[in-house]
Amino acid sequence: MDTPRILDVIASPADLKVLTNDELAILAHEIRQEIVATTSVTGGHVASSLGAVDIIVALESLLTMPKDRVVFDVGHQSYAHKLLTGRRDTFKSLRTYGGISGFTKPTESPFDVHFSGHASDSLSIATGLAKARQLKGTDEKVVALIGDASLAGGMAFEALNYMGNEQLPLVIILNDNEMSISRNVGALMKHLGNIRANNHYREAREGLQEAMETCGPVARGLLSFGRNMKESFKQMVIPHSMIFEALGIVCTHPVDGHNIAELRDILSLVLEMDGPALVHVVTRKGEGYEPARRDPERFHGTGPYDIATGAARKGRAAHPTYTEVFGAALADEAAHDENVVAITAAMTGGTGLKTFAREFPARFVDVGIAEEQAVGMAAGLAFGGKKPVVALYSTFMQRAVDQMIIDVSLAEANVVFALDRAGLVGDDGPTHHGTFDMVYTRMVPHMRVLAPSDEAELVHALHTALALPGPVALRYPRGEGAGAPLPERPEMLVEGRARVVREGDDAALLAFGRMVGQAQAAAELLAAEGMSVRVVDMRWVKPLDEEAIAAAAATGAVVTVEEGVVAGGAGQGVLEVLARQRSQARAITLGIPDAFVTQGPVSQLFADLGLDGEGIAATVRSALA
């Protein structure tokens, strides 16, 4: 008979209060087993979640939740929190269609504070919660859990600046594992490394222990009373200051993030403080599961895997991904043009830049989780005569729209924006779908926007973008390409010229990006019903091919199809052209409606949104009816 698990009797963090440190450590082990068992089937952010288990168990054992608020940065490490807050039974549905989210999500649980997914926002949210607490005169604790890489994001720095000045009562738990998705980068990372290297925490802790034992009740009384707390805390545990101290934020020595007793000791102290405090916790990504410990980058975000070996369950895809094709094409371009510089914001692997980084290390820049810096720096590089290619996920580029408008486009700087993960991404869900980029690029003066329909087109689009003066964006989706043979040589595309991929005169489908494939599927279905439908690969979101639009309108029915929000999107651009042309054609824009799209397989989401062959065919039928 199996030994009963502690995890099975935990309905909420309140149940943790009766457990000893040893029992909490056993619970942490059970949670890790549960995370591995589930993610081996669903995939997920394994290494970060495993690394944060002890912190979450220790922290939540000390809080009164959901009254006390814990803000998870990115939220990719929150699986233990999910298991402790009433989602043990639904955990198996992690990241699946209709299942629980891979990030915190307030509509899923009252224990979740915000829709996490984008890095570096937790401290700002926490400052808002702490300010609200002050205004209401309430006493709930506010804690933010943030990783070492996310702490370097601009938004986090802005929050530190504010909270230190205002002396807001909140606790930052810095989960320092020396890793972003790959190895962490930057001066802050080096600073944290120096602190770890000079860690006198043990001696300080023993001093604290002694102080607590000799004058325990007095010291504790002082602490809980909150008077002079910062000073007493400093005297007891902090022999030297650092950057955070200079900003008015009390900072602890590095604490072992896998020792629940130590974590509870230090957390119970800082939770009683009346100003901002940062607990520097040292963890190992993937802790408790050897394959993830060995290869934390692969297990940062993984698909299903074999538990015994850690090997991926899915075999190699039939075709290279858009990302792989982009990475190879960019390295090729860089080999022919020494001015090409590649910039990533902590997504070297995700944006396909590993080859480039290896072959051209001097021309490769990883700014860390700092999209604004990536785009601002690209402007500077362009002013200095270089040809920067900023490779970002479409969703993360949202952080740097201002820099794209003011620093790059106003100056007509030669910057290429390579927007990966444009369109629906699948299991990460609404925070990660790249559904806004056609709007935020199209609206900017001087910007040109390409939406290649397959991987061969992507090679040409990149080549064209690098050759054109001024800012150019290209957008392409996550995952496997369409299987189009790659060209021997990249071609220069004619600016603003679409290509007809199927003739027809009953109606016209004007499709953008990989929607061209879905439009062709729709045309096939309609052909079987006797309808002749033209399919146009629009290639350019901006400038649009006005002749191709006029020719489409001559069929009498135009349906635009895009993998992005319709409000302000490419289809809207087509409508503007049709209006200018005083067209009488019936026109319908298909794309993402005014709602956030859920998580799930992309094919399922396409079907739900009417963006698969069937759905598009149905719209054409209604346009012709």
Ligand X SMILES: CC(=O)[C@@H](O)[C@H](O)COP(=O)(O)O
Q: Among the residues of 411-514, which ranges form H helices? A: 437-442, 455-467
Q: Which is nearer to ligand X, 296 or 350 (CB)?
A: 350
Q: 399 catalytic, yes or no? A: yes
From the list 107-115, 178-186, 264-272, 545-553, the region that binds ligand TPP by CB under 6 A is: 178-186
Name the minimum Å distance from CB 366 to ligand TPP.
10
CB 389 within 8 A of CB 340: yes
> CA 220, 224, 226: angle at the middle one, nearest 5?
120
Tell me the DSSP string of 107-169: TT-TT--S---STT-HHHHHHHHHHHHHHHT----EEEEEETTGGGSHHHHHHHHHHHHHT--
Q: Which is nearer to ligand X, 103 or 201 (CB)?
A: 103
Name the minimum Å distance from CB 300 to ligand X.
6
Nearest to 244 by CA among 180, 178, 161, 158: 161
Q: Which is nearer to ligand TPP, 396 or 436 (CB)?
A: 396
How many CB atoms are closer than 10 A to CB 48? 27
Q: Of these, 57, 74, 163, 179, which contacts Mg ion (CB under 5 A)?
A: 179
Residues contacting 225, CB < 8 A, separation 6+? none
Q: Which does 87 bind (CB under 5 to 8 A by kind): ligand X, Mg ion, ligand TPP, none?
A: none
String of b and e for 428-446 (b: at least 16 CB within 10 Å)? Answer: bbbbbbbbbbbbbbbebee
The span from the CA of 143 to the CA of 70, in Å, is 5
The span from the CA of 483 to the CA of 318, in Å, is 8
Q: Which residue among 82, 285, 502, 539 is the active-site one?
A: 285
177 annotated as belonging to a binding site for a ligand = yes
**Should residue 52 be labelled a site residue for ligand X when binding is judged by CB under 6 A?**
no
Q: Which does 421 bind (CB under 5 to 8 A by kind): ligand X, ligand TPP, Mg ion, none?
A: ligand X
The span from the CA of 323 to the CA of 509, in Å, is 27
Q: Of these, 24, 74, 544, 585, which contacts ligand X (CB under 6 A)?
A: 74
Residues contacting 190, CB < 8 A, separation 6+? none
CB 504 within 8 A of CB 555: yes
Q: Which is nearer to ligand X, 325 or 585 (CB)?
A: 325
Q: 92 catalytic, yes or no? A: no
**Should residue 420 be labelled a site residue for Mg ion when binding is judged by CB under 5 A?**
no
150 annotated as belonging to a binding site for a ligand = yes
Q: Which does 78 bind (CB under 5 to 8 A by kind): ligand TPP, ligand X, Mg ion, none?
A: none
Q: Which helix (H) or strand (E) holds 398?
A: none
Q: Of these, 42, 101, 109, 150, which contacts ligand TPP (CB under 6 A)?
A: 150
Q: Of these, 177, 344, 441, 619, which contacts Mg ion (CB under 5 A)?
A: 177
Q: Which is nearer to ligand X, 301 or 327 (CB)?
A: 301
Q: Which residue among 399, 421, 539, 542 is the active-site one?
A: 399
CB 399 within 8 A of CB 426: no
From the list 83-91, 142-150, 421-429, 578-586, the region that binds ligand X by CB under 6 A is: 421-429
Annotated binding site: 76, 117-119, 148-150, 177, 289, 371
The footprint of ligand X (CB under 6 A) covers 45, 74, 76, 181, 300-301, 350, 421, 425, 428, 478
The residues annotated with a catalytic role in the active site are 285, 371, 399
